[in-house]
Amino acid sequence: MIRTIGILSIQGDFAKHQVMLQGLGVETLQVKTIHHLKKCDGLVIPGGESTTLVHLLHKHDLWEPLKAFGQQNPVYGTCAGLITLATHVPNAPFTPMGLIDLSVQRNAYGRQIDSFIAPVQIRLDIASSFEGVFIRAPKITKIGNRVTPLGWYEDNIVLAESGHILVSTFHPELTDNDLIHRYFLKKIG
């Protein structure tokens, strides 16, 4: 049984993830310390600015504990969260955690003004269309052998998983569709 899903709450729109998960009847906890993280069965790392996110994780002494947590527990990273979890991010001023075997290009579609909403083709339990909200979105440029693509925008992989790690380049929390959050909960329950 799922006890608590943590939402990393040091940057980004963590509140929208929290509302989405609470709407699914899940107990949530805003994670700002190691003490909070230890109470969680799974974790959502929201979008934001990846360099700032990595800086804050180190500043709050959460980098290594979060990395260890992700080696054992389900983690879902959106946008900057995906970038943080990847193995390779060219030209980034930091080394990512390496919890999912992906190469990622930051801000691949342009600046903030170039953000957009577009249909994403999702293949989870069934094939469906999903409204993808792309805000300074990264692009997955290469996946490892153990990574399974789950969603596409045009020819680009935008949703993927490897074991208990789930990532998206877009922001499902900014829609009314809880499909992806429900899928993540299956990794925990």
Closest by CA to 169, choosing from 151, 186, 185, is 151
Asked if 103 and 141 count as a contact pair (C-beta separation under 8 A), the reply is yes
pLDDT score for 109? 77
Residues 78-88, mean pLDDT to the nearest whole number: 96
Is 79 an active-site residue?
A: yes
The active-site residue, picked from 17, 40, 79, 164, is: 79
pLDDT score for 107? 80
What's 21-90 look like in SS3? HHHCCCCEEEECCHHHHCCCCEEEECCCCHHHHHHHHHHCCCHHHHHHHHHHCCEEEECHHHHHHEEECC
Of the pLDDT bands very low, low, confident and very high (cuts 50, 70, 90), residue 11 is confident
Instruction: Tell me the C-alpha to C-alpha distance, in Å, between residue 111 and each of 82, 89, 134.
Output: 18, 17, 11
pLDDT, tens only, 128-148: 889 999 998 999 999 999 999
Residue 64 has pLDDT above 80, yes or no: yes
pLDDT score for 166? 98
pTM: 0.95
pLDDT score for 180? 95
pLDDT score for 77? 97
Of the pLDDT bands very low, low, confident and very high (cuts 50, 70, 90), residue 163 is very high
Residue 62 has pLDDT above 70, yes or no: yes
| Structural domain span for residue 105 | 5-188
Q: Determine phi and psi for 58, rounding to 5 degrees.
A: -70, -45
CATH value at residue 164: 3.40.50.880
The active-site residue, picked from 17, 164, 171, 181, is: 171
pLDDT, tens only, 84-128: 999 999 988 999 999 999 999 988 776 777 788 999 999 987 778
pLDDT, tens only, 15-56: 999 999 999 999 999 999 999 999 999 999 999 899 999 999
Counted domains in the chain: 1
Is 88 an active-site residue?
A: no
The active-site residue, picked from 36, 40, 164, 173, is: 173
Pairing type for strands 156-162 and 86-88 reads unpaired
Is 173 an active-site residue?
A: yes
Of the pLDDT bands very low, low, confident and very high (cuts 50, 70, 90), residue 1 is low
